[in-house]
Amino acid sequence: MDVKASLLMVGDELLIGQVTDTNASWIAAELWRLGIPVLKKITVSDTLDDIKYGLEASLESADLVIMTGGLGPTKDDITKQALADFFDDELIFHEKTFERIQGYFQDLGRPWNELHRLQCFLPTRAQLLTNELGTAPGMLFREKGRVVVSLPGVPYEMTGIFKRELLPIIRQMVPEKHRHSLTIRTIGIGESDLAEKLETLPSGWDQDVSVAYLPAIGQVRLRLSAKADREAEAIKRVDRAAEMVEKVLAPWIFGRDDESLEMLVGKLLRERRLTVGTAESCTAGLLAHTIATVPGASDYFTGSVVAYSNDIKHRILAVPAEVLERYGAVSEQTVKAMVAGAIDALQVDMAVAISGIAGPGGGTPDKPVGTIWLACGNKDRVTTKLLKLNKDRQRNIEYTVTVGLNMIRKFLMGL
Amino acid sequence: MDVKASLLMVGDELLIGQVTDTNASWIAAELWRLGIPVLKKITVSDTLDDIKYGLEASLESADLVIMTGGLGPTKDDITKQALADFFDDELIFHEKTFERIQGYFQDLGRPWNELHRLQCFLPTRAQLLTNELGTAPGMLFREKGRVVVSLPGVPYEMTGIFKRELLPIIRQMVPEKHRHSLTIRTIGIGESDLAEKLETLPSGWDQDVSVAYLPAIGQVRLRLSAKADREAEAIKRVDRAAEMVEKVLAPWIFGRDDESLEMLVGKLLRERRLTVGTAESCTAGLLAHTIATVPGASDYFTGSVVAYSNDIKHRILAVPAEVLERYGAVSEQTVKAMVAGAIDALQVDMAVAISGIAGPGGGTPDKPVGTIWLACGNKDRVTTKLLKLNKDRQRNIEYTVTVGLNMIRKFLMGL
């Protein structure tokens, strides 16, 4: 069976912009891996009419509809009622779910309340999907060969139920995968320049492999995908295309799929048995945190000094007072001194230093907001870089962290 | 005119889960502020048929359709063509746009390429919306009293065009706002407990003010909203309701609307003329970065020590070797010593220290993954807290940062 899916997200908060929907992309990625295309995604408000509209529109072309949201204990959540109406069903107290919720709160050492008891009134026709991380179970309805699933909107509850309860059911719907995609991650080159470079690909390029460009802060991801009768065939085609792309774009590529820049940096440091530290002013620890998001980072990351004030730059990182006075905190001389100071203070093999004006205040005619100096190196060799950014505070900080990671990569790879 | 909107997001990347859609929530929030309800949001793939379906479904009930995505320079982007087809229009080379793009690249000091020139073929009927931050202009079509707007998918380009070009046009469509909402932000109390406490609200509660609960990591936001014939009336009703809620939930409330916990912490520190520093192990600088996301944080934040290794805990933060040996790095004794060490090393009035096992590795039977100790205080008084989390690495880290901020808040407020 060639299953096609549609997503239905329920919640006023999504339509007034109070919450960014991360569930849809997570579910879509899971379904993509199973070879199930998501034809569309519809977001509706918490009203019976809109949920009914959403169900009808979703079922028009899809065999599998996955809904999230509107299952909470409070009275603005009415997805359960809407589903019971839609499937001509009724809500009945479900003793086992109530026992599970009582046990859940016992484990937490907190009492349940009346609202939790009301969550146990559930549609009789629904197959319940146990929620180990919260109170509202998921529900699955089957009708005329089509499947409608309702999951809680809280992301970790949703993903928990999806992985443990729903995935095995969906797998049975699609015995074979026919689709494969692979993402190549680049840094330091724009979307149009990438596209132009790819026009020079050798003649052996497989026209059935499609390429999409996904830009992010300082990075562009290239998604290659192919469909084939057999999974192995799709994988082979995509892999061959990926190798061709990787040859043309080598200097800008740092990873595939979920391999982040910080993972590559970690791998390079571990291979070379080196340790790294950071000395951060305007990024205030975000580079350190990003390096440490990789599990096992303690093998190569020992710590950092966040030197927001000049006093700390001088006292802990030993930046000479005359350097700070003569060149200013945001200068090539200062970040170079910060690298040396961090290597000493943190007892590491190499360090990255950052000092800049993230904004919105603090700019001068000489050094406007967005002026950011970085340095990266060891005791023998230090590279520096000056950024002139024009984005908002948070984006300036995030972009700078990406550049800092890329400097470590290039330093270690001798690029 | 009572304008109703619908959002149409275009992009394969959204349906295979490679990108999380942040544009929709941003646009929805802007429209909400203007009193324009978003009836639904539809996400479709980059194909002519699907974009056409999306336009038809969006225009069914909406007067204003805002689209994003599919305007990039590469060939997978076909929104422009789909709009020309839908509005029975054609694409013509637009000289002025080309001149603007040439100027844009001149400023960047980079050459334009052929793909940028192709971006200048635009529908003749479209009113163009200048894009100062990128190459693809926005487009606005009017037909039978309804408006369809197409914006680039790159978030900062989209928001730039929206604010500068589109907002004035939309404002003219809705001379008066009739809707108001206000968000009350709480921490340290669950959704059901909040709801139960709100049941005891005094009898004067305005039934026309609706309440919605929006849980996030460690926090729950309460959204109060009301509709009225006049804006002033809606504001008055919501404000009155908010005051009642704030009385009942005082100990858990830290702000309204966009006021984050780090903003409140900054305000409290500034009022008391105190400085703060952090000493972080497993969170590795994320608490420092979060404190420093607030513009002007340098008034009260001077720096941090990320002490991932025991060596740095001992050498820079002066945690006695016997404390580390006897109680371990993840212990109440260690985080207390880290607070004292950070106050000395960073020369601050108060500090927060964090040491824990974020996972997935590093757990022991005594101290399983998710065991995290925090301490917060000054030279005279230190409070501590033990967390036993069971989430994934990144969530454990983010939750811990929220708890750390809340400890600063409670310490400063004497709670």
The answer to whether A214 contacts B13, with C-beta atoms less than 8 Å apart, is: yes
Neighboring chain B residues of A15 at a CB cutoff of 8 Å: 28, 37-41
Neighboring chain A residues of B76 at a CB cutoff of 8 Å: 210-213
Predicted local distance difference test score (pLDDT) of residue A227 = 79
Do A147 and A37 lie in a common domain? yes
Q: Give the minimum alpha-carbon distance from A382 to chain B in angstroms, rounded to a whole number.
A: 22
Number of domains in chain A: 3
Q: Give the minimum alpha-carbon distance from B103 to chain A in angstroms, rounded to a whole number.
A: 16
Predicted local distance difference test score (pLDDT) of residue A206 = 82
Lowest mean pLDDT across A102-116, A150-164, A298-312: A102-116
The answer to whether A312 contacts B42, with C-beta atoms less than 8 Å apart, is: no
Among A156, A221, A284, beta carbon nearest to B391: A156
Neighboring chain B residues of A116 at a CB cutoff of 8 Å: 192
Q: Give the minimum alpha-carbon distance from A287 to chain B in angstroms, rounded to a whole number.
A: 8
pLDDT in tens, B392-405: 898 899 999 999 99
Segment A30-51 shows an average pLDDT of: 90
Do B123 and B36 lie in a common domain? yes
Lowest mean pLDDT across A155-159, A228-232, B290-294: A228-232
Do B83 and B160 lie in a common domain? yes
Do B126 and B207 lie in a common domain? no
Segment B329-354 shows an average pLDDT of: 98
Predicted local distance difference test score (pLDDT) of residue B171 = 84
Tally C-beta pairs within 8 A across A and B.
305
Higher confidence at residue A77 or residue A334?
A334
Segment B81-109 shows an average pLDDT of: 89
Q: Would you say residue B217 has pLDDT above 80?
A: no
Question: What is the CATH number for B203?
Answer: 3.30.70.2860
Q: Would you say residue A101 has pLDDT above 70?
A: yes
Domain that holds residue B95: 5-173
Do A129 and A40 lie in a common domain? yes
Segment B139-160 shows an average pLDDT of: 94
Do A294 and A385 lie in a common domain? yes
Domain boundary among B206, B228, B256: B256
Q: Would you say residue A145 has pLDDT above 70?
A: yes
Do A227 and A276 lie in a common domain? no
Do B133 and B115 lie in a common domain? yes
Question: What is the CATH number for B374?
Answer: 3.90.950.20
Domain boundary among A173, A193, A226: A173
Predicted local distance difference test score (pLDDT) of residue A311 = 96
Do B206 and B87 lie in a common domain? no
Predicted local distance difference test score (pLDDT) of residue A174 = 78
Domain boundary among B226, B256, B286: B256
Distance between CA atoms of B399 and A14, rounded to whole angstroms? 23
Neighbouring CB atoms inside 10 A of A403's CB total 21
The answer to whether A113 contacts B192, with C-beta atoms less than 8 Å apart, is: yes
The answer to whether B72 contacts A213, with C-beta atoms less than 8 Å apart, is: yes
Do A248 and A266 lie in a common domain? no
Q: Would you say residue B391 has pLDDT above 80?
A: no
Lowest mean pLDDT across A250-259, A304-313, A372-381: A250-259
Predicted local distance difference test score (pLDDT) of residue A61 = 87
Neighboring chain B residues of A27 at a CB cutoff of 8 Å: 17
Q: Give the minimum alpha-carbon distance from A162 to chain B in angstroms, rounded to a whole number.
A: 15
Neighboring chain A residues of B57 at a CB cutoff of 8 Å: 57
Neighboring chain A residues of B13 at a CB cutoff of 8 Å: 212, 214, 223
Predicted local distance difference test score (pLDDT) of residue B301 = 97
Report the share of chain B in percent with pLDDT over 70: 98
Predicted local distance difference test score (pLDDT) of residue A1 = 56
Predicted local distance difference test score (pLDDT) of residue A47 = 93
- Three-class SS of chain A: CCCCEEEEEECHHHHCCCCCCCHHHHHHHHHHHCCCCEEEEEEECCCHHHHHHHHHHHHCCCCEEEEECCCCCCCCCCHHHHHHHHCCCCEEECHHHHHHHHHHHHHHCCCCCHHHHHCCEEECCCEEECCCCCCCCEEEEEECCEEEEEECCCHHHHHHHHHHHHHHHHHHHCCCCCEEEEEEEEECCCHHHHHHHHCCCCCCCCCCCEEEEEEECCEEEEEEEEECCCHHHHHHHHHHHHHHHHHHCHHHEEEECCCCHHHHHHHHHHHCCCCEEEEECCCCCHHHHHHHCCCCHHHCEEEEEEECCHHHHHHCCCCCHHHHHHHCCCCHHHHHHHHHHHHHHHCCCEEEEEEECCCCCCCCCCCCCCEEEEEEECCCCEEEEEEECCCCHHHHHHHHHHHHHHHHHHHHHCC
Do A401 and A298 lie in a common domain? yes
Predicted local distance difference test score (pLDDT) of residue A177 = 56
Q: Would you say residue A188 has pLDDT above 90?
A: no
Segment A111-138 shows an average pLDDT of: 90
Among A192, A306, A359, beta carbon nearest to B288: A306
The answer to whether A72 contacts B213, with C-beta atoms less than 8 Å apart, is: yes
Lowest mean pLDDT across B93-102, B209-218, B266-275: B209-218
Do B163 and B194 lie in a common domain? no
Q: Give the minimum alpha-carbon distance from B400 to chain A in angstroms, rounded to a whole number.
A: 13
Confidence of residue B23 (pLDDT cuts 50, 70, 90): very high
The answer to whether A32 contacts B44, with C-beta atoms less than 8 Å apart, is: no
